[in-house]
Amino acid sequence: MLLKITVLTLLIILSGCGKQPESNNAADVNDVVDLAGEYDDSVVLTVGDRNFTGSVLAPILERLNGDSLMVNMKLEALINRMLILQNAHDRGYDSTREMALYFYEREREKLQNDWLVWILDQKVELPPDTVEEYYSQMGTMLVYRAITVKDRAHCDSLRQLVINGENMGDLAEEYSINTREAINRGVLGPVDMMEAFPGDYMLLRGLETGELSSLDSSYSGWRFLRIDSTYQDTIPPFAEIKDIIASRILGRLKMAYKDELFDSLRTVNNLQITEGIPELIASHFLENSQDYEPFTSEQENMVAYSFTGGRRTIYSLAENIRNLPPIGYNDPDDPDWIREYSWLLGLYDIMSMEAKQLGMDTLPDNVSYMDQRFSNQVLDVYYAEVIEPRLIPTEEKLLEIYEAEKDSLIIQEERVFKTISAVGEGQLDLFNRVMESGGDPFSMIEELTAVQSILAPGESIITRPMTVSDIPPPWNEMLFNAEMHESVTCSVSAEQLLLFELTEIRPEHIATFDESQDQLLAIFRSMEEEEVISGLVDSLRSVYHIEINRGFVDKFIYSDSLSIDQP
């Protein structure tokens, strides 16, 4: 949800600014230079108990090119924002456990990524002459086949069948859990051998046409490959692609190092999942849902997993899972899924901890970034708790708006589908067999997986009406170009696909009064909320002390610029 309060840009929003960092003593990571140190660290703006120093405010005002109107408007916007944040603080909106967890998760996401980029840049270098050697081996184009299955024994038996003369394309179509392989009868390419996926390159290197690779495990299962054909192709001059090659090689080296790094981090930091906890958490999650039944207070505070220097509670882990994106293979009512996800999330927690040990959380840019994210979340809560209750229109007012605006109140085209999902090797195998035999997957609700997040209330396979914006690309284009009763298969991952069948098209039309309630409420709020927030801010000005160092502010206004006080 977009931050509702941002509609009043001049009243509330101050992009790219945050509160004063408590410390500017950050570790030297990636040669960060603290430019804010060039400015005065004394307090130049106070609102309530919130302060801005010159080192924080100066870079903001400098960007306004000395325009006195913009400088003063930006200053007023900052004061208004600080007034509301101060009031939100006094109401306790920024000190709940939900807000503490929100701050932790956003900081963890930022720091784990920053640390990983930093450590890979530190540890992985491009060996001499590697780019030239890579280029010298380019030009051999491959067409090859692959079969991916979940189990090593199954993979080995399929490989033996191919050796004994079975058609590899038929086997890939029937058994591969990789949707692309199944659809294309295992065919991959043509691709330059040097640009194949790193794992595929290692398996294909040294093979002759028609030869089978050894078995290999990947993130999605076990697989083997066979070269079907090769041919030579021209390649661009070295000077044109040397930077691309260097980037590609570095990327591969970093990916290889990353896998070793992750295993090392878990081992060195003694990541341990508490026995019995995955089963307990899974028992509370609703089937085919990311919502869960409440835990007791004692259960919420139990340790889900621990590592040297940190831990995560059941409450923290359950809330993290609840907020995962709905697209993807999420199965929190399965203890094995909980265990695997804990193994991954624990790694992310460790990476964030490593970043803090380097002082990355105290870097001015990160402090400002986190303050902005956290403050915006607080403003969301403040809007819902304080401002929205003051923006409740009467039905007569909504009818008045409807009559004035109805020609512009358009309901976009909506479509209704039947949908079912196949998740995991067993369901994917069943789905493929049913489709090949001309059966009806939608009749197999018990054997396959319902897509709860998009179903209409009370339905098991019928979706709610959806607009094109309700579905993420590239699936939205596929589904909204489908004909009536046409089936569309969407591959979410190697282990999950969704099947849709179009059952109803609701054309774009002018909304009725009942259909336009959300739009009417938005129009009403846009008409009224400026006055409501202005009145609120004016009242807060009489509550909280405001002090501005005008001498400091005036340094950023050119002498020949127009004054805000001039007529």
- Determine the pLDDT at residue 326: 63
- Determine the pLDDT at residue 20: 34
CATH of 413-507, one of 3.40.50.40, 3.10.50.40, 3.30.750.24, 2.40.160.50: 3.10.50.40
- Determine the pLDDT at residue 321: 94
Token output for 387: 């401002």
- Determine the pLDDT at residue 198: 75
Q: What helix, strand, coil percent values describe the chain, rounded to 5?
A: 50, 15, 35
- Determine the pLDDT at residue 329: 63
Considering the entire predicted model, what is its pTM?
0.67
All residue ranges of the chain with pLDDT < 50 are: 1-38, 559-567
Hey, is 383 helix, strand or coil? Answer: helix
- Determine the pLDDT at residue 217: 79
Q: In this structure, which amino acid lies at residue 364? A: P
- For strands 221-232 and 272-273, give the pairing: unpaired
Q: In this structure, which amino acid lies at residue 128? A: P
**CATH tag, 139-234:** 3.10.50.40
Phi, psi of 183 (to 5 degrees): -70, -40
Of residues 549, 541, 554, the one with CA closest to residue 48: 541
- For strands 187-192 and 140-149, give the pairing: antiparallel
Cα–Cα distances (Å) from 311 to 300, 305, 307, 340, in that order, read 13, 6, 6, 16
Classify each residue of 156-176 as buried b or exposed e, where b means 16 or more C-beta atoms within 10 Å of its C-beta.
eebbebbeeeeebbebbbebb
- Determine the pLDDT at residue 308: 96
Hey, is 161 helix, strand or coil? Answer: helix
Token output for 300: 């919420």
Domains of the chain, by residue range, sit at: 139-234, 269-357, 413-507
- Determine the pLDDT at residue 495: 73
Q: Would the CATH topology of 139-234 be identical to that of 413-507?
A: yes
Of residues 438, 424, 414, the one with CA closest to residue 487: 438
